[in-house]
């Protein structure tokens, strides 16, 4: 498998988490679960394979995607297709970083996966064709990097106070939520409005998603896990609240999660049918 990432430089590194390209992906499954991460993505397929989303309960297809699509900030987990010999190119924005490129409130993309041309028009399909025709990952990166620079309005960046609050939610336990909100110098209504504009979610949902993803990082490849300690350190009021939250975001309770050995692979993608 080929897997390459772009070393991000200014000004894009301020807004984008990662840009990566892979080819000859050979999964051992055909359906995988994606948990909420708080990020917006632009995804290019370069292999001509149509992708599907599935009903989370029945696993019957409920959406098809090809060429280029945008995945907004999700509150619920997604079930998506995984394909043999995949080739894809992915832009992952920072939790607050998509707005300066999209230039409309990010909450409008919440819980949606939509064709990218609905936002960027024919130019995004033309870009895909150019990327497809370039023979090396470096050339593909250069094309997308230049396109992103052309779409960026660098003035549309969260102010220092909002950035401080965003970073506190990312790094502090849920038990500190009200303290962080109360420290915000403007009204709570203003804070919610700014979060929905830049991050999609409300502050509470945003904080919950990042604490959940922090837990996934903590348990990744761990042989012995103390769920009570993790729940306490993450700021949950009690273990039942923690279990409820875990199941809401992943579809599994913690014990089921470990039983299926989901902690031994990617932290945000879980194979639902390893025999594929």
Q: What is the pLDDT of residues 59-84, one digit of tens each?
A: 999 999 999 999 999 999 999 999 99
Query: Whole-prediction pTM value?
Result: 0.95
Sheet holding 86-93, edge to edge: 2-5, 16-25, 86-93, 41-45, 68-71, 113-115
Domains in the chain with CATH codes: 2-151 (2.60.120), 160-271 (1.10.10.60)
Q: Give the pLDDT of residue 237.
A: 85
Residues in the chain: 276
Which pLDDT band, with edges at 50, 70 and 90, does 275 fall under? low
Pick the more confident residue, 262 or 237: 262
Model pLDDT, residue 222: 84
Strands (E), the chain: 2-5, 16-25, 31-34, 41-45, 51-54, 61-65, 68-71, 78-81, 86-93, 113-115, 269-271
The per-residue pLDDT for 276 is 39
pLDDT of residue 273: 86
Q: Which DSSP symbol is given to 251? A: S
How far apart, in whole angstroms, are the C-alpha atoms of residue 258 and residue 223?
A: 10
**pLDDT, tens digit (0-9, with 9 covering 90-100), for 175-204:** 999 999 999 999 999 999 999 999 999 999
Q: What mean pLDDT value characterizes the chain? A: 95
The predicted model gives 10-21 an average pLDDT of 98
pLDDT score for 221: 82
Check pLDDT > 60 for residue 254.
yes
Identify the band that residue 274 occupies on the pLDDT scale cut at 50, 70 and 90: confident
């Amino acid at each position: 498998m080929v897997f390459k990432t772009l070393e991000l430089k200014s000004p894009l590194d301020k807004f984008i988490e990662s840009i990566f390209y892979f080819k000859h992906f050979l999964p051992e499954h055909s359906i995988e679960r994606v948990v909420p991460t708080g990020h917006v993505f632009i995804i290019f397929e370069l292999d001509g394979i149509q992708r599907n989303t599935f009903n989370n309960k029945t696993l019957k297809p409920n959406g098809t995607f090809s060429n280029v699509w945008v995945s907004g900030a999700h509150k619920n987990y997604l079930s998506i297709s995984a394909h043999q010999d995949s080739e894809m190119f992915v832009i992952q924005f920072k939790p607050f970083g998509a707005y300066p490129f999209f230039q409309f409130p990010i909450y409008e993309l919440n819980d949606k996966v939509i064709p990218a041309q609905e936002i960027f028009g024919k130019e995004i399909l033309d870009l895909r064709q150019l990327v497809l025709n370039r023979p090396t990952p470096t050339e593909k990166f250069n094309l997308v990097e230049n396109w992103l620079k052309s779409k960026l309005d660098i003035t549309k960046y969260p102010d220092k106070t909002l950035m401080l609050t965003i970073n506190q939610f990312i790094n502090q336990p849920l038990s500190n939520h009200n303290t962080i909100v109360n420290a915000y110098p403007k009204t709570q209504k203003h804070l919610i409005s700014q979060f929905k504009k830049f991050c999609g979610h409300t502050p509470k949902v945003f904080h919950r998603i990042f604490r959940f993803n922090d837990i996934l990082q903590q348990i990744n490849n761990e042989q012995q896990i103390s769920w009570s300690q993790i729940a306490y350190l993450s700021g949950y009021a009690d273990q039942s609240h923690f279990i409820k939250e875990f199941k809401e975001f992943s579809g599994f309770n913690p014990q089921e999660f470990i039983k299926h050995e989901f902690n031994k692979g990617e932290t945000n993608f879980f194979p639902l049918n390893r025999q594929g």
